[in-house]
Structure 1
Amino acid sequence: MGIRNVMFRLPTKVGLILLVLSLAACSTLKNVGEDEYLLTESELRVEGKKIIDPTVTGLISQKPNSKLLGVPLRLHIYNMANPNPDSTFQDWLDRKPNRRQRLTNLLSEKQLNRLGESFLVKGASNWFKDIGEAPTILDSLKTDQSLKRLKAYYGSKGYFNAIARQTTDTIYEKNRAKIGYDVNLGKPFYIDTLNYAIGSKDIDSLFQLAKPETYVHQGDQFDLAQFNQERARLTELFRNSGVWNFQESSINFDILMDTLAISDDQKLDVTLNIDNPKSTIGNRTHVGEYKVNHINNVHIYADFDLANPTSDSLKTIQYKDLNIHYKGDLKYTPKAISETVFFNKDSLYREIDRTRTYRKISSLNNFKYPNIEPIPDSTGTKLDMHIFLAPRPKYSLGFNVDVTHSNINTIGTTFNTSLNIRNVFGGMENLSVSARGTIGLLSDSPPDKKFSSEIGTDVKLSIPRFAFPFIDSERITPAYMLPSTNISAGMALQKNIGLDKQTFNTHYGYQWSPNDKRRNNLEILDIEYIKNLNPDAFYNVYQDTYSQLDDLAKGFESDYPQFYETTGNPSDPFQLRIPSGTTGFTQEVLQNELGGEYPEGSDEYNEVNRIENRRIRLTENNLILSAHYTYFKTNREGLTDRNFYSFRGRLESAGNSLSLLANIVEFKENQGGQDLLLNIPYSQYIKAEFDFIKHFRLASPGTVLAFRSFFGLALPYGNSNNIPFSRSYFAGGSNDNRGWQAYSLGPGSSGSLNDFNEANMKIAFNTEYRFPIFGDLKGALFADVGNIWNVLDDETNEKAVFEGIKSLEELAVGSGIGFRYDVSYFIIRLDFGFKTYDPAKPMGNRWFQDYNIKNMVTHIGINYPF
């Protein structure tokens, strides 16, 4: 028996341990010279305390090779490469006298040279080097550089007498080294006197007004970061107080100290200097003076041509205090143009107004990035603002192909084409007409239906202001908050899990963003009509529900043969016919006409009633008229920020306006007493969601701890006894609890009785530790906690109902490992989840009962889950 067969028979955990041990046993010194040392450990201690803060440890120039499960995996991969593939290939050619000549005759000399550059000879080694990691060889110069950086860093914190040195317990043995850094801080220095030298009278006046808000105070311990904060504060202050050309480099600090005088009370004398601007003309240096400026005139060039910037033959109109210049016919209304500019005649120049003007114009998608030029007059106290707008083409056609992933589709492809029409009515409004198509592989489907499809079309009008009749929107929301009114309508034909749907939707809402970190969205009208095109296929799609009903129907074949069909299976010869048999049997039970077998109130009767109510709910058409408000806030600084939080809150109310109308106009009612509109019972509920995400950057390079918490609750009332399926919650899936497939967890401890389990309340917590493996491949260890429950609706199963704190025992736990590969445009994600705590099992048998490879759940996703 070979070794390979033995390994396959070993338990998974043992095999993993042996793999780690075998890698650990491999030599890491293959590319380490005789007089070199492989850096295996680096430690920093300050005043005897170990430091792991990445801000400080990042100052150390050399880091040991990265490790996975304690093994330097990337170093081992690098060592698999041939260090000199060219010479190895040449040695192989010359190893036999006639080999080179024979290959030359066979391939030609050119082909032989290409063979030397091939993947088998050279490419494999280069690939191992690319995805691997070269050994970190101890370098005394980099060690000295690290010590200088540490000393400088702590010097910036006021410890000017700090001593950084290599520790005496540094170990050199067998071409390996463990190096330690030790920093003794000494006594810090404090600011004793704080003086000011300001060259400009205007600057001095502004400074005196804002002096109480300074970051630098007498008596503070010296901290260079506070000095930098003060420079940034003053620069922002001056630029927003009329000094349009102020430069941060004009601010500097003179620091007088005696670093040789060591005492418990070490003092600094600090002078804040704010110099006037300097300019060089020829060989002479001219010193000017910073002055406060007011806006004189504002000129807007509405159709500036970058290729032909001449201002000849321009027409000019005045609107309020703006001078609008244009060629031919003015394509935009003066009011719309005025809403893009935040400079006002005779007002103080403010840099924030310039930033807001850039942001507003860029958000309109009508112009290329604008050019704003302030031109001072001869006195240096007045500015003419020139704003050049280069229009984008009125029409643009787009076509996109996207890879998608959802709770229904394991993977799908979406085709989208759109026609964008800019400045439709002259007020910089944008109209978009789009058509889309989707085809996907269903993640959980009947055997005869593996693919889903959807076609749809949408029309959207975006107006760059709040559209309120007879009301000036500027009074409600300032233009710098980028207010917009969005009106859209669309329809879609969807074929996925079997019932198939036709959807019509209409939206009317407002959006505004006070800054780049906050967004608000208010939908005052959200209408959705969902029509199920194939309701008779319910039991074909929901096979678990069908099996439950079919089991209840066993034994009645002779009395009601019209309800059954033969199966050809001797052990189960009859089953309910779909849909006539399922409908007929259900009616017989609920009308108490089954010969008294399942009387009203019996467990069997209640189960049939539950199944029928679920069928009606999932096959009935839905009319949802709602309004909702969404608030989003984050402190993320760009896509590369790994230490941030984000919060999203959403409140939705549906059916209230129709309920009010029903009190005025008499609506038709169904047998259940529900008001009908277009022969459909409209939905009435209130729904709230809270979603919080926090990412923590950890000490090790490239590692992140990501956390997410979610709570959602939707309560039906009035005209509804439950929440529409499209507005309910589910648990499980690649972006939720990855120990379960989508819709297969919950509700509560009911054990997933249905094919697609949903409820109206959800709690979820997700934690993920992300770390680099090699190259663009990253790994993750995750733990997901959560479940769904029914609250204050028509659910009768006690196991599915939330009953307070006690029900938190039903929070399911899934954990596992994942891999992510960055392909630039998106991230391909592969997660392996395990049921760690299963609330569907009896108490005492919930932990680790299915924690094995056999019950592992695999998820393929696009991008990070949170």
Structure 2
Amino acid sequence: MVVVATSIITSCSTTKYVPKGEYLLKKNKIELNKEDKAGKLTKSEIQGYLRQQPNRSFLGIKAGLMLYNLSNPDKNNKWNNWLRKNGDPPVILDTLEVEKSVKQIKSFVDSRGFFQSVVDDTIDYRKNSKAVVYYRIWSRQAYRIRNITYEVLDSLMRDMILRDTLEAVIRPGMVFKVEDLQKERERIETLCRDSGYYAFSKDYVSFDVDTTIGNHQIDINVVVSKALYQNELMQSIEVLHHKYKIRNVYFFVDFDPQKAIEDRKAYYSGLDTSYMKGFYFVSKRDSGYLKKKVILQANYLFPNTIFNLEDVNLTRKHLIGLNVFKFVNIYFSEVPQPDTTKEIRLIDCHIQLSPITQQSYTVELEGTNSSGNLGGALSFNYQHRNLFHGAENFNIRIKQSIEALAQEERGVKQIMGTDVEANLVFGKFLSPFFNREKFVKKFAPKTTVTTAFNYQRRPDYTRTIFTTQMMYSWQTSRFVSQLVSPFSLNAVKLPYIDPDFLAHLDTTTYLAYSYRDVFISSLNYSYIFSNAKLKKKSDHLFIRFNAETAGNLLYAGYKVTNRPVDSSGSYNIFGLQFAQYIKADIDIRFTNVLNEFGSITYRFFAGAGLPYQNSRALPFERQYYAGGANDIRAWHVRSLGPGSYVEKNSGFYNRTSDMKLEANIEYRFKMFWVLEGALFLDMGNIWAITKEDDRTGALFKFNKFMNDIAVGTGLGARFDFDFFIFRVDLGIKMRDPGIATGNKWIMTKGPLDFHRDLVLQVGIGYPF
């Protein structure tokens, strides 16, 4: 222990491995003098152009550097190699890199229109072998665009390009930015390639920029050049750009790229070609892999039509979306023509479709995390991606699970579960409406039919749920998808309730009605917006709105036909009281990426459900709860609320109610190895919105709900192993609405009670 402690203390010297006469880069400081606020230069942008960054730190602690300093450079064993590999070596100040950074900053600032800017640096060498580098930027006044002219040298393209200048990225009066010129080049390229100019590229677009006119103004001349063509003498000459028309479209339905490369002639000689509705299908002689109709529904490229880049991208996207191809490759070949002077040339389109394995099964042993209840599961999964040769995706899953359930008085108990679920996904709407080819091509609709059975045995009750659901989903834009379930049928039964828990339920009418056998026939709608990019870390927004209503048609039918009610005054179906309610909620998340090492995620959630007519309480499965690993982390799951209500001598964490408000902020930052850190602040609660709930303090009231807000903070660690993230969060209660009298801020009442006020949450993945 003494040796380990001595090693750690020694490693705290961050300059331990800094060579004599060298300096550890402690910090970069950027001083920005902005004379023109319209330029919007920020320190975070300039940070990206610094060639050297100091060792990462959090609250002044350079954990990665400390880990590296624990190693012994004279030893080459596994332990020391691991320390050096996963720690951060000291960043030694390099004055040449500082000079390069100054040049890069100057180049960047110029690209943003600050041509008269001045950039310099100062290095502060300190006694403890550390150095701080100061970068000073005087941006001065930004140059603005005065006039823009377009010089299109190709007479055939001139009118088209000039007509579309209303969509131009650059406009008079704007601050000059090089990045806007690049966007304008890309806009012109897209316009031309969407208009038939297959061979056109942004390299034909250039800019003449005149900065000599004075008064911090710029004139820009956009030049669109002619095409370059090599004649018989291998000389490059300028010619007019040609439009291209698609002659034939060939689908290689079960293309095998490996065999095509190994022996091209033998491979292609073994393929048959068939013709259908103007398209050629090339495949093996015995191939019946996928119906031709399904392929054509996902296709936007047609013979005898002008080339359009957008149609190429849509075809690739929709063919990949069928989930039956390993990869989709689209390329074009120019058709040789003796007359090269023709304005329109011909190309053939080749679409190579490599099939994915149709059937697969897996047996998985997995870790589970249900709102902070950790456990394990053994599951069997079977998948058929092309069940009826129409890209129908069939899945069946059987899972046996066990989870640890922490209870306040009874210690740790177990939840046993068995799930059987089967679903079938069709690449269209199973409906006589909305199945026209234009609708299918535009919105990529899907229908999912699901049947599931869930058995759950908890310490307090045993529950079974049988579910049948049909759901329609479609993509209305690049970032927006929508889901509608015209019917979702759930039969919920509780064959066993623990006597102590039953006695607890009987203390309030609302809870007693919540835990009953019930039949739920609901209509559901969801709207989802997400602009997150899979391969690029950038700011992104996620919004999900859900709406649900249940029991209205059944109630109207029973009412019209004068069906009898049961002893509680409610209608029943299949021997079960059916639920009647309306419910809606919204979940908004925004992630602000600060730099490559850190980000801040904000979350807001609001939801409410109202039972009426045939129901006196929302079914337990449709109620909201607070607390847990993905919620307000300073409370155990289902242990907070509703409102200021306090359960006494219950021993059960099962607090639920009709309404929920929640807000979260989490700062995430990389540390070293696979370790990431987090600081968070959670706040919110649940409430009742009907007076049927007679729990003291549970009812939501506008004039007092702010006094019911729970506040928790804490810190966490995430271990990012690429294929999954293991998370540990320590939640600390700051404000407890359950405190009956006086100040509800816990830290004003003396030292924290570690058993009561601190909660350790373990989870899989990020909390939101």
Fold conserved between structures, TM > 0.5: yes
In structure 1, what is the equivalent of residue 129 of structure 2? 175
1:853 is aligned to 2:754:
yes
1:302 is aligned to 2:288:
no
Aligned counterparts of 2:334 and 2:61: Cα–Cα separation in 1 = 64
- What amino acid is the match of 2:281? I
Q: Which has the larger radius of gyration?
A: 1
Asked if the contact 2:510/2:694 (under 8 Å) is kept, the reply is no
Aligned counterparts of 1:778 and 1:823: Cα–Cα separation in 2 = 11
Q: Which residues in structure 2 correspond to 1:315-464 (within 5 Å)? A: 315-319=273-277, 321-326=278-283, 327-328=285-286, 330-377=288-335, 378=337, 379=342, 380-407=344-371, 410-444=373-407, 450-464=413-427
- What amino acid is the match of 1:673? G
Instruction: Kindly state the Cα deviation for residue 253 of structure 1 after the two structures are TM-superposed.
Output: 1.8
Instruction: Kindly state the Cα deviation for residue 682 of structure 1 after the two structures are TM-superposed.
Output: 0.1
Aligned counterparts of 1:713 and 1:506: Cα–Cα separation in 2 = 24
* Aligned pair partner of 1:36 in 12, 22, 25: 22
Aligned counterparts of 1:412 and 1:287: Cα–Cα separation in 2 = 70
Asked if the contact 1:23/1:76 (under 8 Å) is kept, the reply is no
Q: Percent same amino acid among aligned pairs?
A: 26
In structure 1, what is the equivalent of residue 436 of structure 2? 474
CA deviations on 1:632-664 (whole Å, 9 max, x unpaired) are 102212265242111000000111121122134
Give the direction of change, closer, same or farther, for the CA distance of 1:844–1:64 in structure 2 (3 Å limit).
Answer: same
Asked if the contact 1:505/1:527 (under 8 Å) is kept, the reply is yes
Instruction: Kindly state the Cα deviation for residue 405 of structure 1 after the two structures are TM-superposed.
Output: 0.2
Aligned counterparts of 1:498 and 1:640: Cα–Cα separation in 2 = 46
Asked if the contact 1:730/1:758 (under 8 Å) is kept, the reply is yes
Asked if the contact 2:514/2:618 (under 8 Å) is kept, the reply is no
Instruction: Kindly state the Cα deviation for residue 158 of structure 1 after the two structures are TM-superposed.
Output: 2.0
Asked if the contact 1:538/1:615 (under 8 Å) is kept, the reply is no
Instruction: Kindly state the Cα deviation for residue 612 of structure 1 after the two structures are TM-superposed.
Output: 6.3
In structure 2, what is the equivalent of residue 314 of structure 1? 272
CA deviations on 1:71-111 (whole Å, 9 max, x unpaired) are 333323322222222xxxxxxxxxxxxxxxxxxxxxxxxxx
Instruction: Kindly state the Cα deviation for residue 286 of structure 1 after the two structures are TM-superposed.
Output: 6.3
Asked if the contact 1:254/1:270 (under 8 Å) is kept, the reply is yes
Give the direction of change, closer, same or farther, for the CA distance of 1:461–1:25 in structure 2 (3 Å limit).
Answer: closer
Q: Which residues in structure 2 correspond to 1:514-553 (within 5 Å)? A: 514-535=476-497, 537-539=498-500, 542=501, 546=503
Give the direction of change, closer, same or farther, for the CA distance of 1:277–1:630 in structure 2 (3 Å limit).
Answer: farther
- What amino acid is the match of 1:185? S
In structure 2, what is the equivalent of residue 676 of structure 1? 572
1:785 is aligned to 2:747:
no
In structure 1, what is the equivalent of residue 662 of structure 2? 764
Give the direction of change, closer, same or farther, for the CA distance of 1:273–1:441 in structure 2 (3 Å limit).
Answer: same
Instruction: Kindly state the Cα deviation for residue 334 of structure 1 after the two structures are TM-superposed.
Output: 3.6
1:705 is aligned to 2:620:
no
In structure 2, what is the equivalent of residue 149 of structure 1? 104
Aligned counterparts of 2:27 and 2:357: Cα–Cα separation in 1 = 59
Instruction: Kindly state the Cα deviation for residue 798 of structure 1 after the two structures are TM-superposed.
Output: 4.2
In structure 1, what is the equivalent of residue 581 of structure 2? 685
Instruction: Kindly state the Cα deviation for residue 301 of structure 1 after the two structures are TM-superposed.
Output: 3.1
* Aligned pair partner of 1:746 in 638, 641, 655: 641
Aligned counterparts of 1:392 and 1:135: Cα–Cα separation in 2 = 48
* Aligned pair partner of 1:135 in 85, 90, 93: 90
In structure 2, what is the equivalent of residue 249 of structure 1? 203
Instruction: Kindly state the Cα deviation for residue 181 of structure 1 after the two structures are TM-superposed.
Output: 1.3
Aligned counterparts of 2:89 and 2:615: Cα–Cα separation in 1 = 65
What number of residue pairs does the alignment pair up?
741
Asked if the contact 1:837/1:846 (under 8 Å) is kept, the reply is yes
1:59 is aligned to 2:49:
yes
Aligned counterparts of 1:667 and 1:247: Cα–Cα separation in 2 = 72
* Aligned pair partner of 1:276 in 227, 234, 248: 227
Moved more, 436-445 or 703-712: 436-445
Instruction: Kindly state the Cα deviation for residue 223 of structure 1 after the two structures are TM-superposed.
Output: 1.2
Instruction: Kindly state the Cα deviation for residue 486 of structure 1 after the two structures are TM-superposed.
Output: 0.9
In structure 1, what is the equivalent of residue 264 of structure 2? none
CA deviations on 1:333-371 (whole Å, 9 max, x unpaired) are 443222010123443322121111111111212222122
Instruction: Kindly state the Cα deviation for residue 276 of structure 1 after the two structures are TM-superposed.
Output: 1.7
In structure 1, what is the equivalent of residue 244 of structure 2? 293
CA deviations on 1:783-811 (whole Å, 9 max, x unpaired) are 11010011125212341111224222101
Instruction: Kindly state the Cα deviation for residue 765 of structure 1 after the two structures are TM-superposed.
Output: 0.6
Instruction: Kindly state the Cα deviation for residue 287 of structure 1 after the two structures are TM-superposed.
Output: 5.4
In structure 2, what is the equivalent of residue 11 of structure 1? none
1:211 is aligned to 2:165:
yes
Moved more, 327-336 or 655-664: 327-336
- What amino acid is the match of 2:60? G
In structure 2, what is the equivalent of residue 164 of structure 1? 119
* Aligned pair partner of 2:715 in 809, 814, 817: 817
Asked if the contact 1:44/1:51 (under 8 Å) is kept, the reply is no
* Aligned pair partner of 1:636 in 514, 532, 544: 532
Asked if the contact 1:692/1:710 (under 8 Å) is kept, the reply is yes
Instruction: Kindly state the Cα deviation for residue 424 of structure 1 after the two structures are TM-superposed.
Output: 2.9
Asked if the contact 2:326/2:356 (under 8 Å) is kept, the reply is yes
Asked if the contact 1:693/1:707 (under 8 Å) is kept, the reply is yes
CA deviations on 1:207-230 (whole Å, 9 max, x unpaired) are 112112212234544210110110
Aligned counterparts of 1:468 and 1:294: Cα–Cα separation in 2 = 37
More strand by share: 2
Instruction: Kindly state the Cα deviation for residue 147 of structure 1 after the two structures are TM-superposed.
Output: 0.5
In structure 2, what is the equivalent of residue 800 of structure 1? 698
* Aligned-partner SS, 1:799: coil
* Aligned-partner SS, 1:238: helix
Moved more, 203-212 or 424-433: 424-433
Aligned counterparts of 2:9 and 2:157: Cα–Cα separation in 1 = 66
* Aligned-partner SS, 2:105: helix
CA deviations on 1:126-155 (whole Å, 9 max, x unpaired) are 233233322222111101110000110011
Asked if the contact 2:645/2:698 (under 8 Å) is kept, the reply is yes
- What amino acid is the match of 2:331? E
In structure 2, what is the equivalent of residue 559 of structure 1? none
Q: Which residues in structure 2 correspond to 1:44-193 (within 5 Å)? A: 44-47=30-33, 53-85=43-75, 117=76, 122-167=77-122, 170-193=124-147
Moved more, 136-145 or 207-216: 207-216
Give the direction of change, closer, same or farther, for the CA distance of 1:170–1:452 in structure 2 (3 Å limit).
Answer: same
Asked if the contact 1:194/1:272 (under 8 Å) is kept, the reply is no
* Aligned-partner SS, 1:800: coil
CA deviations on 1:675-716 (whole Å, 9 max, x unpaired) are 0111111000011010000111226x5121111100010100
TM norm structure 1? 0.80
- What amino acid is the match of 2:14? T
Give the direction of change, closer, same or farther, for the CA distance of 1:759–1:197 in structure 2 (3 Å limit).
Answer: same
Give the direction of change, closer, same or farther, for the CA distance of 1:748–1:428 in structure 2 (3 Å limit).
Answer: same
Asked if the contact 2:249/2:350 (under 8 Å) is kept, the reply is yes
Asked if the contact 1:746/1:752 (under 8 Å) is kept, the reply is no
1:513 is aligned to 2:475:
yes
Aligned counterparts of 1:651 and 1:771: Cα–Cα separation in 2 = 35
Aligned counterparts of 2:287 and 2:89: Cα–Cα separation in 1 = 65
* Aligned-partner SS, 2:286: coil
Asked if the contact 2:148/2:221 (under 8 Å) is kept, the reply is yes
In structure 1, what is the equivalent of residue 673 of structure 2? 775
In structure 2, what is the equivalent of residue 224 of structure 1? 178
Give the direction of change, closer, same or farther, for the CA distance of 1:146–1:711 in structure 2 (3 Å limit).
Answer: same
Asked if the contact 1:458/1:491 (under 8 Å) is kept, the reply is yes
